[in-house]
Structure 1
Amino acid sequence: MKNISTLHIQPDFNESIQQGESFYLNIDIDSNTIDEINFEKTNENEYSSTNDLNISFKKSKTNLFETKINDFNYEFQTGQEFKFAQLKEDPNQDINVTSIDGTNDKIVVGDSEGNIEILNNDNTSKDKISFTESLVIPQAHFSGITKSKIFPSGVVLLTGSIDMSINIFSMTDGSNPRTFKGHSKRINDLDMIERGKNFISCSDDGTIRLWECSKGVCEKVINRFENPYDGVTSIRVDPLNNQIIYGSYESGVVVGYDLRAIKDNKIKQLNSEFMSSCIGVELLNDNYILTGYEDGILCKWDKRKDCEIIESIKICENLQKINMIDETRIITSDLDSTTMLNIGESVDKIRYLVDEQDRGCNDTWYNKNTMELMTVGKYNKFTIYNQL
C-alpha cells in the first residue's frame, strides 16, 4: 500500500504570499506527530523552507502552487468564495450547506435545516462569475438534506434527507408532487436510472430501494442476506448497464446487484479488506471499481480479474466522501481538507483545494463544460475552483 503524507497548509497562505510574508505547512507524520515547515520568500514566485529540509514552494500558474516532499508531488489550489442570498449566514446558528448539484445554468444546494436554494448561474465568462437567487424552498424537509440530484430534464429536483423521506420538487415554483417513504433511517445517497423514470436510494436501515417516479411506489427492496441491517453508505448505477448497481456498506463490503433478478440479486462482492467502513463506491469505467474507506484508504479493483485489488493508497486518517468528476479524477474530503487525485494511472501527485475560511467540505459538484468544481461546507458559503 502506498502511504501519502497528509499536509495542512496555512489557510490564508495565498494572502501571505501576496504580501511577501512567510507561511507554514504541516506534515502529519502519524496521528500524534506533526512536522511544521515554515517558508520564506526567495524570489518573485518561489519560497524556500527555513529549516534544513531544502524544500521549495513555487507558484506554477494563477491560483496554483506546487511543492515536492519525500519524492511526492503536491499542489495547492485556491478558489473564489460566494455566499448564498437567503440561507442564514450566522455561524453561531450552526447551519451548514450539506448538498449541491447543478446544470449549466442552475445550482441547487440543501442545508442542515432542510432548506433548499436554487441559484441562476449568470456566468458570462470565467473572469466574471456571478449567481442570482432563483427560488428558495424553506423547510423542504424536516431535517438536514443529505443528497440533491437534478433530473436530466433540468426542471425537476430529487432530494433525500435525515428525516427518512425522499421528495421531488419543481425547480420552477417549488411545488412537491411526490414524496417517497419507506426507509426507517436517514437517506444516505440517491442515483437515477437513465432519464429518471426510476431511481435508487440507500439508507442506514440497510436497504437499497428501487422507486418508480410516476406512480410514487417502491418496486424493489434489497438488503444483504448476511447482515440485513448493515447500513448502506453510497450507491451507484453502472453507466454501461443501468440494471446493475453497486452499494457500499458500513461493514466495509461493497456489493453489486442485478435489479432484474427476482430472488438472488447479488452478482459480485468486494470483501472488507481494511477493517473499516466503506464510505463510497465509484465506477471508473467498464473495468475498474474505486472504493473509499473511513480510515483514509482508497482502493482500486479490477472487475476483469474477479475484483482483484490492483492499487491501494492511504491519503488521510478520516475519509468522509469521494466523488468522481470524470473517468480518472476523484475528489476526496476528510474532516479538514479536500483533495483531487488522478487515479487513471499510478498516483504520483495530489492537489489540495484550499479554503481560506477552513470550512470543511460536505459535498461537491463538477461542471464539465466550464471545468469548475464547486464545494459546500459550513457557514452557508461555497467555493469555486476553476481550470480543473
Structure 2
Amino acid sequence: MTAMYMDLQPDWEAAGDETCWLNVYERRVVLNASESQQEKPTATVEGAVNAHFQLAMQPAATGKAETAHLVEVTKREMHWVQVQVASGSTGEEEVVHAVFQAPTAASDVFQAAATEQVHEFSVHRSPRPQLHCVDVSCEEKYAVVGGADGRCVVWDPLDRVPVRPLVGHVLDVTSARFFPSGKVALTGSLDFTLRIWSVESGQCAAVLKGHRGGIEDVAIVGRGRNVLSCASDGAIHLWCCANQQIVAKWTSDNESAVHCMSLLDDSAHMFTAESLKASTAVDNEFETEAKLLFAGLDSGDILGVDVRSRELAMNLEGTASIVSCAVTSRHGTPTLLTGSEDGLLTTWDLRQTSSPLHVLSRSPSAVQRIAVYEDRVWTANADGVSASWSHLLAPTNATPTVSSYLTGPQYDPVRGLAVGPQTGRVFTACRDGLLREYIPHFLTM
C-alpha cells in the first residue's frame, strides 16, 4: 500500500507571511514472508516520490504548477494551516489534503513546579528535564506528567499550572495512568517500582516492588483493584493494589523486554474462555474475566494473554521491536494497532490474524505512542511529529492516511501522548522538556 505524506518546517507558525519548506513523499511497505518458522517476516519500505518546495504560508488565489506537484495553502488560522498537494502538473490525478497544527500552549512543567514548590523540587533551568509520559484524567481536571530522574507532577490542564509534585521515584518515570475515578494515578519508573498516588494530596499510597528491570508500561484493570505492569526484565505482573502483592506473572520464552501493553474487554468472549466463571479467580483478583492483554516485545512478537485463565490466546509476529500498542473494539471490530522501532504502524483484525490489515510507514523513526479517540488514531513519533490517521478503524475501503500533523518539536522525540476524554484535546510529552497542548482542527473542504 502506497501513501503520500508531508513534512512542514516545524516552526512554520513563526514564519508569518514568509515561505516555509515542505517535503512531499510517498512510502510503500512490502511485507516479505519468512522462509521458515524459525525466521521472522521482514518489511521493506519503498519510496517513490520525494519533492521539496518553498511554500507560501498564506492561502493562494490560484495555484501554480511546480515540477510534478501542485502545492498550496488553502486555509490558515492562528494555530493551524491546511495544505493541499496534487500529484501531476495538472492537479487532476490525486489531491491530498492535510492540516498542520501548532501547539496552543507549550509548558515547561518541571520548571513551573520548581518555582511553585521550591522545597520539593530543585530548580533546573538548563537543560530542561526530558519528558517521558503524560496521561489525562477522565474529567480533564488533572494531567500527570513523568520525566527524567524521578520527576513527576500533577498538572492543571485548564489553567496550565502545576498542582503538586509527586515525589518518590528516583529514576526516569516512564509511564503514567489515571484510575477511572480520576483522583488516583499509577506510575512506573526505571527504578523497578510502581507507585500509586492520590493526585489531590500528592501522597504515595502504595509502592509495588517485584520487577528486576525498569518499568516500561502500566495498565489499570477495571476500576483499579488490580493493575498490570511490564518491564525490561521480560516480565508482566498482575498486582493487587490493596496488599501490593503479585497475583500472577507472565514471561516470554526468550525473556525479551516487554515495552508496551493494552487491555481489551472481551465481553463477547471471542478470544477469552467463556467457561471460566468468577469462582476461578484467585484471592485478590478482581474484574479480570474477559480481559485480554496484548503486550509488545523487544523481539518483535506481540503476545495476547487471557488474564483470567493465564493462557496465551495468540502470538503475532512483527518485523522489529514493538514499542507501542493499542487495542480497540470500535465499530464492533476488535483491532490491534502496534508501533515498531523502525517506524511501522500495523493494524490487525483480531478475528483473522494470518496477515495484518494495514502496514504503514510515515517515517523510519519509532512510533513511540498510539492513542485511539473515537474514529481517529493518534501516533507520536521519534522524529518530533505526532499524527492523526484517518480510515484505520471505520469500516471503509478508503486508503488510510495522515489527515493532521502536530508540529512544534525540532526533531526531538515525542515520547508520550494522551487525548482528553471529554474535549479531544491532545497533550504530548517531548524529549525537549515541554508539555504541548493542541486543540485539533480537522480537514474541511
Q: Same fold (TM over 0.5)?
A: yes
In 1: Cα distance, 2:237 partner to 2:345 partner: 26
| Distance change (3 Å), C-alpha of 1:209 and 1:12 | same
Farther off after superposition, 52-61 or 201-210: 52-61
**What TM-score results when the alignment is normalised by the length of structure 1?**
0.86
Give the Å deviation of 1:239: 2.7
Instruction: State how 1:237-316 maps to structure 2 within 5 Å.
Output: 237-241=263-267, 242=288, 243-261=291-309, 265-272=311-318, 274=319, 276-285=320-329, 286-316=333-363
- Is 1:96 the equivalent of 2:95? no
Gaps of 5+ in 1: 124-129
Give the Å deviation of 1:375: 1.0
What RMSD in Å do the two structures reach over aligned CA positions? 2.7
1:367 corresponds in structure 2 to: 420
Aligned residue for 1:152, secondary structure, equals coil
Determine if contact 2:75/2:83 at 8 Å carries over to the other structure: yes
2:188 corresponds in structure 1 to: 160
Letter in 1 for 2:82: F
| Distance change (3 Å), C-alpha of 1:257 and 1:45 | farther
2:81 corresponds in structure 1 to: 64
2:215 corresponds in structure 1 to: 187
In 2: Cα distance, 1:79 partner to 1:149 partner: 23
2:435 corresponds in structure 1 to: 382
Give the Å deviation of 1:45: 7.6
Determine if contact 2:131/2:429 at 8 Å carries over to the other structure: yes
Give the Å deviation of 1:224: 1.9
Gaps of 5+ in 2: 27-45, 88-93, 115-121, 268-287
Percent of paired sites with the same residue: 21
Determine if contact 2:369/2:381 at 8 Å carries over to the other structure: no
| Distance change (3 Å), C-alpha of 1:237 and 1:52 | closer
1:127 corresponds in structure 2 to: none
| Distance change (3 Å), C-alpha of 1:4 and 1:54 | closer
**What TM-score results when the alignment is normalised by the length of structure 2?**
0.76
Q: Out of 77, 99, 117, which is 1:75 matched to?
A: 99
Determine if contact 2:106/2:435 at 8 Å carries over to the other structure: yes
| Distance change (3 Å), C-alpha of 1:378 and 1:250 | closer
Aligned residue for 1:86, secondary structure, equals helix
Give the Å deviation of 1:374: 1.0
Aligned residue for 1:159, secondary structure, equals strand
Determine if contact 2:382/2:411 at 8 Å carries over to the other structure: no
Determine if contact 2:59/2:73 at 8 Å carries over to the other structure: no
Determine if contact 2:166/2:197 at 8 Å carries over to the other structure: no
Q: Out of 37, 40, 56, which is 2:56 matched to?
A: 40
- Is 1:177 the equivalent of 2:205? yes
Farther off after superposition, 190-199 or 48-57: 48-57
Aligned residues: 370
Deviation by residue 1:165-205 (Cα, 9 ceiling, x = unmatched): 11112212222221111111111111111000001101111
2:271 corresponds in structure 1 to: none
Q: Out of 221, 229, 239, which is 1:211 matched to?
A: 239
In 1: Cα distance, 2:52 partner to 2:150 partner: 40
Determine if contact 2:60/2:74 at 8 Å carries over to the other structure: no
